[in-house]
């Protein structure tokens, strides 16, 4: 990084914890000074020193159309001219709810909120209120936001209750969460055999994206559906990341599974703070003001965020949109794999829809333990080589990457060529 980025980072650290407003932005995992971004257009971003990068972070997934898409910007601007916030119902909120329910058949009712954390926290509270049970099952390596019930790591044994993974989370809260291995259907069966009558919900990233991208085994997801149905538990698909990113009906459409509740975010806001939770009418009618499960938010359904989200969701319905996005993402991964193989690097890459994962190990990981086998030092060297060459990947070996519709074939080819040079020096 050059002078302006460094100056801004030093200034930020005096008033913001770690100098950032979300931990991974601090570059602690990879080292160095983060670029302070000042503008984005299409597939590229520019930092405070004027350096431009082909961007594969995409604001961590929302920017499926690329940065500053003119129609999304115009829709947001028009909404802003009418007023920034009302704290009262608007027609655009109704349009968003109708569109989400049309695109995802598992949704009968939907509530708009402001963040993925808020959506998952509310869905879990609703599942507990609906079932009258306390226990939650989550999976190691899956991240569902920073509410207390979810900042829990695996216990010491297969079916032991979780332990807090963050300061400030009471052990008494963590004891209501079971943490199992992702893609481990046998562990799920054992957990339900032992605790089924007490399990309120299972929450899962149907495609894991927060321990890098880890693809689900189809039988694993179908097994979750079967166990929840058998035991009267609520199956929650956390599609904050995968919703309208891995396909036109999210992961639930891709794998043919209907969850009881779904959480959404990122793409549905088009880059603005917007998220949602929704599902079966019989469950969603437990939410206030219809039922006893309380949830509220002053800025929920903010007109600017809804305008950006509606514009984005309508644009991605264009025929062939997802096929083209998938093709480009697959081309990126194939090119990276070929470049690594050419230089004998222990590396693998894979994609699902517009998401991809890069792993410095011989094969793509299937669960958290295999993710942890990746060579983090090799990733760090690759990351900085690519950043110096003008290609911005997630600054962590444990985060998925994203391709947008704005990425051109030339962008992909340029990135692969840069990776070839980077692998030659690892």
Q: Which residues participate in catalysis according to the annotation?
A: 143, 238, 266
Q: Please tell me the distance from the alpha carbon of residue 4 to that of residue 239, in angstroms, as a whole number.
A: 37
Listed in sequence order, the residues at least 6 apart from 50 whose beta carbon sits closer than 8 Å to its beta carbon are none
Q: DSSP for 186-225, please give it.
A: HHHHHHHHHHGGGEEEEEE-SSB-SSS-BPPPHHHHHHHH
- The angle at the Cα of 132, spanning 129 to 138, to the nearest 5 degrees, equals 75
Number of Cβ atoms within 10 Å of the Cβ of 261: 27
Contact 231, 200 (CB under 8 A): no
Contact 130, 106 (CB under 8 A): no
Contact 67, 45 (CB under 8 A): yes
As given in the structure block, the two tokens for residue 208 are 């894991």
Q: DSSP for 71-106, please give it.
A: HHHHHHHHHHHH-S--SS--HHHHHHHHHHHHH-TT
Alpha-carbon 72 to chain mean position: 21
Q: Sign (positive/negative) of CA torsion 124, 126, 129, 132?
A: negative
């Amino acid at each position: 990084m050059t002078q302006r980025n460094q100056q801004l980072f030093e200034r930020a650290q005096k008033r913001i914890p770690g100098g950032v407003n979300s931990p991974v932005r601090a570059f602690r995992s990879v080292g160095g000074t983060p670029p302070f971004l000042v503008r984005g257009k299409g597939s590229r971003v520019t930092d405070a020193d004027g350096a431009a990068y082909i961007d594969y972070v995409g604001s961590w997934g929302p920017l499926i159309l690329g940065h500053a898409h003119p129609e999304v910007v115009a829709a947001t601007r028009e909404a802003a001219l009418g007023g920034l916030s009302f704290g009262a119902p608007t027609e655009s909120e109704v349009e968003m709810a109708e569109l989400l329910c049309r695109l995802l058949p598992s949704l009968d009712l939907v509530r708009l909120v402001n963040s993925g954390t808020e959506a998952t926290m509310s869905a879990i509270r609703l599942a507990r209120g609906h079932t009258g049970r306390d226990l939650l099952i989550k999976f190691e390596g899956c991240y569902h936001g920073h509410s207390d019930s979810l900042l829990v790591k695996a216990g010491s044994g297969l079916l032991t209750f979780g332990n807090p993974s963050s300061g400030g989370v009471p052990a008494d809260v963590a004891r209501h969460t079971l943490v199992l291995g992702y893609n481990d259907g046998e562990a799920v069966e054992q957990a339900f055999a032992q605790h089924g009558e007490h399990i309120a919900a299972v929450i899962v990233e149907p495609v894991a994206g927060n321990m890098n991208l880890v693809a689900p085994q189809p039988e694993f997801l179908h097994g979750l559906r079967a166990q929840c149905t058998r035991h009267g538990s609520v199956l929650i698909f956390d599609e904050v990341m995968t919703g309208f990113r891995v396909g036109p009906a999210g992961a639930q459409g891709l794998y043919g599974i209907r969850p009881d509740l779904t959480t959404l975010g990122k793409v549905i806001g088009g880059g603005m703070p917007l998220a949602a939770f929704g599902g079966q009418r019989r469950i969603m009618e437990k939410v206030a003001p219809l039922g006893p499960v309380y949830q509220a938010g002053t800025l929920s359904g903010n007109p600017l965020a809804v305008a950006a989200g509606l514009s984005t969701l309508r644009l991605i319905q264009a025929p062939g949109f997802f096929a083209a996005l998938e093709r480009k993402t697959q081309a990126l991964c194939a090119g990276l794999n070929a470049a690594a193989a050419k230089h004998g690097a222990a590396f693998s890459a894979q994609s699902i829809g517009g998401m991809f994962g890069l792993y410095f190990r011989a094969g793509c990981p299937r669960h958290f333990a295999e993710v942890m086998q990746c060579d983090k030092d090799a990733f760090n060297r690759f990351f900085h080589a690519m950043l110096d060459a003008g290609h911005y990947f997630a600054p962590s070996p444990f985060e998925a990457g994203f391709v947008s519709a704005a990425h051109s074939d030339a962008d992909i080819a340029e990135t692969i060529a840069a990776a070839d040079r980077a692998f030659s020096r690892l």
